[in-house]
């Protein structure tokens, strides 16, 4: 007998503070960072709804 357990846990903090290690993020304009943040959140939302719909189909 097979048992399938699926769980998706997404923990993240998206903010305007850059890391102290430096890098490409500090070179971006705040408008660019906001656009990137919005894009990431939209893709996560789409993936979540896709997985939710797949689960309802079962």
Per-residue pLDDT tens, the chain, 58 aa: give them. Answer: 666 667 777 777 767 665 555 555 556 677 788 888 889 889 988 888 888 888 887 6
On whether residue 16 sits in a domain, the answer given is no
Look at residue 17 and tell me if it is in a domain. Answer: no
Residue 6, domain member (yes or no): no
* Domain total of the chain: 1
Residue 34 half-sphere exposure toward CB, CA atoms < 13 A: 3
Task: Give the burial class of 42: count Cβ atoms within 10 A of its Cβ; 0-12 exposed, 13-18 middle, 19 or more buried.
Answer: exposed
Is the residue at 8 inside a domain?
no
Assigned domain for 10 exists? no
**Domain of 34, in residue numbers:** 28-57
pLDDT at 28: 67
Residue 13 lies in a domain: no
Answer yes or no: is 39 within a domain: yes
Which among 10, 17, 16 has a CA at the least distance from the CA of 45? 10
């Amino acid at each position: 007998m097979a048992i399938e357990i699926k769980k998706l846990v997404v923990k993240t903090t998206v903010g305007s503070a850059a890391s102290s290690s430096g890098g490409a993020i500090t070179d971006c304009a705040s408008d660019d960072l906001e656009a990137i943040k919005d894009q990431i959140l939209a893709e996560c939302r789409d993936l979540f709804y896709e997985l939710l719909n797949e689960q309802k189909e079962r």
